[in-house]
Structure 1
């Protein structure tokens, strides 16, 4: 299973089945079923940027369903679900309920290895109706859900938590059958669940990456979480886009290296040249040319790379990246 960020290429989809579509475009909306599989539209681009569709495909037949506000699909080995939390004065309880619904559906169907999550949050560093930062409000609801489901799901997955151009919060999840996912930490960064209290009493719930073992051939795939210019738990080089981006790239390189994977008992290793399906989130539009140029220098010319001009989870972060090595 893999994604095609540039859109649905007919050669890629020939003879395969669509597990889900995520449309990164000019507007958002509630998840729906489209042509027999989930579709979610997320407001992550402003005109004249060209929307793209992230399409998750599989060799297996897909079964899908709609349950209250949640849409899902499964193929016997992989599970996808998406849910939207509408704009609210306070998000904690709604996020708790949304995560709980996703976890409950995955667990009921036997997909207890959650390996990748996206959290796309409107006005991410703004304040909610109680004066709490919306990102912190979101994290409180997520933490409640993970605490509630501790012991029934296999660890904490790779994740991205970034801003969106719309309102509300869009969530989508990938999971698989037990025994394939290995969640990874980064030797250059403090594990998120060990962050000090200055980042909030409720710690972030994500791993720095997740390696998903193959279904019998190859080395599998490594899903890189949203990664930024953070060393230990501190943002470095505030205001300096070039240096923050270089730290971001170095952090990814350390995460995916054979040395780090061996520390997690994974027999694989990658470099930046193997990073594909890349999303680059850039806070300030004036930095886009420099970020594009640097990425062109270090990433493979064959990689699918998209750039999104949105807010990030800390006001002093300028750029964040994610991707997949396979």
Structure 2
């Protein structure tokens, strides 16, 4: 099934993300642009569907009493949506958003590999050959599977196998987030593009995740620390920052101290997006922490939420689109993780 949303493009930049909170007008927040997809970070969840012709993901990320966040991806181009098996997607001729869900199971690795490969095949068939960003919301992320293996490590095996099998066609691993969810199973959505120059960036302060030693699991996590899209037409670069935490090298630092973990996390992001790091990767330009937008902050323990909010307010200033979620992080000793987008 396909549904087309007509529109006259006035800009041709990358899709824009906006957070719409209860009581806000979506059309005003998105400036009347065409919707490419929605992700509701709310109190419950279900498998993604086509709603109004574009993907709608409902992820259980907001606990009792917390406001839900409607993450809306918009574009200046006409949008066409469709379904392919368990995948729902939308495309605008340059950009592609796809979503799916893996229901709870004793082990995940084989299903994860199959789902990733199906998504890669659809993306490739439609002509979107550059991965930009992936989100993986994993229930009981640090809990054990039926074999006693941590769910995140089990997930990482399947994801790595999919990237290995597609290594001849997909050039590099993109920015990604792997974070806890408040319900079992795995919700996944990702962005890809057709044109533009894509660079996957690493952080000089951190070991590349895909080179982590075996003590972190049988397969290292398959993602880059950020992905830079240098767009055609001179519309300016967009930098997608992966989920980032208090890790130096490959070690967690300051376990038990949420303030110091916040400081290291933000310092990691600052080094990652800096002009020096972009030059290191052969790219011009660069960003500061105050250029971050669409910031999501994941806090493991509810009692730390106020301290993390205050720390982010001091450092990030007046970022409008920032959301906080009380969910597990991918290591038991990590108290906070952050991600965002720089334009």
Aligned residues of 2:94 and 2:195 also touching (Cα < 8 A): no
State the alpha-carbon separation in 2 of the partners of residues 41 and 15 from structure 1. Answer: 22
Paired residue secondary structure (2:177): strand
Greater than 4 Å deviation, 4+ residue runs: none
Corresponding residue to 1:4 among 18, 30, 33 = 18
After TM superposition, list the pairs within 5 Å mapping 1:117-156 onto structure 2: 117-156=134-173
After TM superposition, list the pairs within 5 Å mapping 1:134-213 onto structure 2: 134-213=151-230
Pairwise CA distance, 1:67: 1.3
State the alpha-carbon separation in 2 of the partners of residues 264 and 12 from structure 1. Answer: 34
Aligned residues of 1:30 and 1:83 also touching (Cα < 8 A): yes
Report which stretch shifted further, 267-276 or 116-125.
267-276
Task: Indicate the residue corresponding to 1:81 in structure 2.
Answer: 98
Aligned residues of 2:196 and 2:229 also touching (Cα < 8 A): no
Aligned length: 326
Pairwise CA distance, 1:214: 2.4
Pairwise CA distance, 1:179: 4.3
Corresponding residue to 2:273 among 256, 260, 263 = 256
After superposition, give the CA deviation of every residue in 1:300-323 in whole Å (9 maximum; x if it has no partner).
Answer: 314311000000100000000000
State the alpha-carbon separation in 1 of the partners of residues 111 and 160 from structure 2. Answer: 12
State the alpha-carbon separation in 2 of the partners of residues 229 and 13 from structure 1. Answer: 33
State the alpha-carbon separation in 2 of the partners of residues 46 and 78 from structure 1. Answer: 32
After TM superposition, list the pairs within 5 Å mapping 1:47-58 onto structure 2: 47-58=64-75
Pairwise CA distance, 1:235: 0.2
After superposition, give the CA deviation of every residue in 1:105-127 in whole Å (9 maximum; x if it has no partner).
Answer: 00001111101000000000000
Report which stretch shifted further, 139-148 or 13-22.
13-22
State the alpha-carbon separation in 1 of the partners of residues 272 and 120 from structure 2. Answer: 27
Report which stretch shifted further, 63-72 or 214-223.
214-223
Aligned residues of 1:277 and 1:323 also touching (Cα < 8 A): yes
Task: Indicate the residue corresponding to 1:233 in structure 2.
Answer: 250
Corresponding residue to 1:28 among 45, 48, 53 = 45
Pairwise CA distance, 1:178: 4.3
The answer as to 2:78 corresponding to 1:61 is yes
Pairwise CA distance, 1:268: 1.3
Paired residue secondary structure (1:202): coil
Paired residue secondary structure (2:234): coil
Aligned residues of 1:224 and 1:324 also touching (Cα < 8 A): yes
Task: Indicate the residue corresponding to 2:5 in structure 1.
Answer: none
Paired residue secondary structure (2:222): coil
After TM superposition, list the pairs within 5 Å mapping 1:298-317 onto structure 2: 298-317=315-334
Paired residue secondary structure (1:4): strand
Q: Cα RMSD between the aligned structures?
A: 1.1
Paired residue secondary structure (1:298): helix
Paired residue secondary structure (2:46): coil
Paired residue secondary structure (2:323): strand
State the alpha-carbon separation in 1 of the partners of residues 93 and 306 from structure 2. Answer: 43
Aligned residues of 1:158 and 1:208 also touching (Cα < 8 A): yes
Pairwise CA distance, 1:154: 2.2
Task: Indicate the residue corresponding to 2:294 in structure 1.
Answer: 277
Aligned residues of 2:292 and 2:319 also touching (Cα < 8 A): no
Aligned residues of 1:219 and 1:268 also touching (Cα < 8 A): no
State the alpha-carbon separation in 2 of the partners of residues 295 and 179 from structure 1. Answer: 32
Task: Indicate the residue corresponding to 2:7 in structure 1.
Answer: none
Report the TM-score, using the length of structure 2 for normalisation: 0.93
Aligned residues of 2:152 and 2:330 also touching (Cα < 8 A): yes
State the alpha-carbon separation in 1 of the partners of residues 231 and 112 from structure 2. Answer: 32
Aligned residues of 1:6 and 1:54 also touching (Cα < 8 A): yes
Report the TM-score, using the length of structure 1 for normalisation: 0.98
Gaps of 5+ in 1: none
